[in-house]
Amino acid sequence: MEQAIKILIVEDNVIIADDMQSMLEEIGYEIVDNVIVYEQAIEVLKTKQVDLVLIDIILASDKTGIDLGKHIRENYDIPFIFVTSNSDRATVENAKTVKPNGYLVKPFEQQDLYTSIEIALSNFIYGKQPANKTNPNDGEVEDNVAMSNSILKDSIFVKKQHLYYRIQFGDIQFIKADNVYLEVNTVDKKFLVRSPLKDYLEKLPQNKFYRAHKSYIVNVDHIDAINSKDIMINNTLIPISKDFKEFIISAMNS
């Protein structure tokens, strides 16, 4: 099931906060909450699912937006953007210490807000770090990239038109390589993603998703049937390699 990006607004100017909420909802984002102080934001982060936070640097409390940014960096794996009237050198340098995913100066238009969010999400989602990792799908040790920040607990973000949607891992049935694109097939939808198949596999839970064929990744929980050359998922025949067939048969007999 696809879900709109959930955004928390932390802004002590109620008029500006309401304008931001209207702009975001018109685009298609979901506003989790709209709060004015650090303490309220902390409580929302504890109790609700939040995908991105928009933070005013100067808040109506002793704690600033920079304090909130530091708290998010230390406790949550989500992006945040500073939204502020201050663009002086000292404020920018202070803000940089907590590594925000974006910095938006007031006043701004809806398009500015949208662009800042999309760039922040894109950079966050596809940020990668090198790591040596054993690939359980082929048994070889390769110099692969580490699991991307696009993994948030039990889901992954997939872009559709102008928004990123959260897709539950359990809803992904199989992924098919098609030239430079991947076709991500969920229970009831298809998404096109620009990525090498091997890199995308690194973003998925290794105990559920396997390289069944040079052109396919499959979620083993969705396999309905198997023969000597194929598996069936949701009435779709998917070719499999000899190694994958042996793996599945071994798993079935264990």
What is the average pLDDT across 150-167?
67
At 198, the pLDDT band (50, 70, 90 cuts) reads confident
Band (90; pLDDT cuts 50, 70, 90): confident
Residue with tokens 């990525």: 195
Task: Identify whether 198 is part of a domain.
Answer: yes
Position with higher pLDDT, 163 vs 200: 200
Are residue 87 and residue 118 in the same domain, yes or no? yes
Q: 20 and 49 share a domain? A: yes
Domain-located, residue 236: yes
Q: 178 and 201 share a domain?
A: yes
Amino acid 38 reads Y
Q: Is the pTM of this model over 0.75?
A: no
Is there a domain that residue 56 lies in? yes
Does 31 fall in a domain? yes
Q: What is the mean pLDDT of residues 214-224?
A: 94
Distance CA 226, CA 247 (A): 12
Arithmetic mean of pLDDT over the chain? 83
Where among 75, 90, 125 does a domain terminate?
A: 125
Pairing outcome for strands 80-84 and 52-55: parallel
Q: Is 183 found in the same domain as 116?
A: no
Band of pLDDT at residue 153, cut at 50, 70 and 90: low
Residue 30's contacts (CB-CB under 8 Å, 6 or more residues apart) are 3, 4, 5, 6, 7
Is residue 8 domain-shared with residue 107, that is, in the same domain? yes
Residues 66, 42: one domain?
Answer: yes
Spatial separation of the C-alpha atoms in residues 233 and 244, rounded to whole Å:
15
121 & 143 share domain: no
State whether residue 79 is helix, strand or coil.
coil
Task: Assess whether 165 and 117 both reside in one domain.
Answer: no
CATH number at residue 7: 3.40.50.2300
**151 within domain boundaries:** yes
According to the model, what pLDDT value does residue 162 have? Answer: 65
Domain stops at, among 58, 93, 125: 125
Residue 131 lies in a domain: no
Residue 130 covered by a domain? no
More confidently predicted of 193 and 233? 233
Q: Is residue 133 in some structural domain?
A: no
What is the span of the domain harbouring residue 221?
139-253
Count of domains forming the chain: 2
Placement of tokens 């049935």 in the chain: 173
Give first-to-last CA distance, the chain, whole Å: 32
Q: Examine the fold and report which residue of 125, 160, 188 is the final residue of a domain before the chain moves on.
A: 125
Whole-number pLDDT of residue 150: 39
